[in-house]
Amino acid sequence: MKPYNELDTSILAKGLIRSINRHATKKSRFMEFCGGHTHAIMKNGIRQLLPEMIELTSGPGCPVCVTDNAELDKAIELSKLPDTILATFGDMVRVPGSYSNLQENRAAGRDIRIVYSALDALEMARSNPGKSIIFIAAGFETTAPGFAASVLQAEKENLKNYFIFSMLKICPPVIKALLDSGETNIQGLICPGHVSAVIGSQPWEFIASDYGIPCVVAGFEPLDILQSIEMLAKQTNCSQAKVEIAYKRGVTPQGNSNAINIIHQVFNTAPGKWRGIGEVADSGLKLKPQYKRFDAEAIFKITPAPTRQQKGCICGEILRGVKSPTDCGLFGSVCTPVNPVGPCMVSSEGSCSAFYLYGGNHER
């Protein structure tokens, strides 16, 4: 993308805002699916720049936030196994499960280590042949290729102590589930840029064709997001519904064929559990039978305690786009980034975190 100076950016932004105002002739509610978009919108004051006719709402596009308590409880139980090292990305350690989180279990003596990539987890397996390395595989289509590649590399090296616990999810099915529920009233969707860089824009076509809802794939700079809102406003004004790309420097209609192929080589789709939404068909990724020996859930037998939810937390409703973080009685008082009650306040992509950092008054 051509770099812009501050004057260029200001001129372009003002032009986009004028165009949005000109085309915003119908009351419209647009959902930004991705948590990265939510933070960019809040940080840059984009909501305040929009006309009253356009409302933005956040969706379930934060992989840490949508991880179900039952999955977190299993991960915690896996960390308690003898001679085991649990590897995880850092944003998962403070997410509350039913009774505790990974950080508390690490403080209690469990060997839980933060890694930055699958390469770190593989090296951990090589360096600790007497221990089982269980890597929490969390994320969307964006991270799935890396986990798939790690399994293929572990097979190539015949690493017998490397396992993954898949919490991986794929995004289009959950949008279908939200639209089918009738609960989420939206007139446009800002599609996730990073996910679409892998899968392309074509998997979103059903939203336009089957539900008559315009879609625009957006990047993460303020101008990217303003452009995507302008494109949605134009479609809505003209009663159109199609999928457009406002992030052509990163996204094509077909996506990244190498990334897609490696996902399909290693994983099968399976039901996925989404916080606040429930089980959604074909929205999860589980290892294929030929890679079962790397599947921690299949190899290690664990029995977590019954799942429970955090009292008073409305993360589920926020992720469905039916409530805002400020609707929660815990927001900003009991629940803060220092003392998070729910995952939407923990994650750097969580809506509650974005509203707390950039959204205004925390006094309730």
What are the pLDDT digits (tens) for 5-64?
Answer: 555 788 999 999 999 999 999 999 999 999 999 999 999 999 999 999 999 999 999 999
The percent of residues above 90 in pLDDT, for the chain, comes to 91
Judge whether 308 lies within some domain.
no
Query: Based on the domain organization, do 20 and 56 belong to the same domain?
Result: yes
pLDDT at 348: 85
Q: What is the mean pLDDT of the chain?
A: 94
pTM of the model: 0.92
The percent of residues above 70 in pLDDT, for the chain, comes to 97
Judge whether 333 lies within some domain.
yes
Query: Based on the domain organization, do 162 and 180 belong to the same domain?
Result: no
Query: Based on the domain organization, do 13 and 129 belong to the same domain?
Result: no
Confidence band, pLDDT 50/70/90 cuts, at residue 362 = very low
What is the domain extent for residue 27?
A: 6-61+172-245
Judge whether 196 lies within some domain.
yes
Task: Tell me the per-residue pLDDT of 172-219, one tens digit each, with 9 for 90 and over.
Answer: 999 999 999 999 899 999 999 999 999 999 999 999 999 999 999 999
Q: Is the pLDDT of residue 224 over 50?
A: yes
Q: Is the pLDDT of residue 351 over 90?
A: yes
Query: Based on the domain organization, do 176 and 325 belong to the same domain?
Result: no
Judge whether 52 lies within some domain.
yes
Report the pLDDT averaged over residues 111-118: 95
Long-range contacts of 301-305 (CB under 8 A, 24+ apart): 302/74, 302/77, 302/78, 302/81, 303/77, 304/70, 304/73, 304/74, 304/76, 304/77, 304/98, 305/73, 305/98, 305/99
Judge whether 305 lies within some domain.
no
pLDDT at 2: 54
Judge whether 304 lies within some domain.
no
pLDDT at 126: 98
Judge whether 108 lies within some domain.
yes
Report the pLDDT averaged over residues 115-124: 95
Query: Based on the domain organization, do 227 and 180 belong to the same domain?
Result: yes
Query: Based on the domain organization, do 126 and 184 belong to the same domain?
Result: no
Q: Total domain count for the chain?
A: 3
Judge whether 250 lies within some domain.
no
Q: Is the pLDDT of residue 109 over 80?
A: yes
CATH of the domain at 239: 3.40.50.11750
With a CB cutoff of 8 Å and minimum separation 6, the contacts of 167 are 67, 71, 75, 136, 137, 138, 139
pLDDT at 330: 96
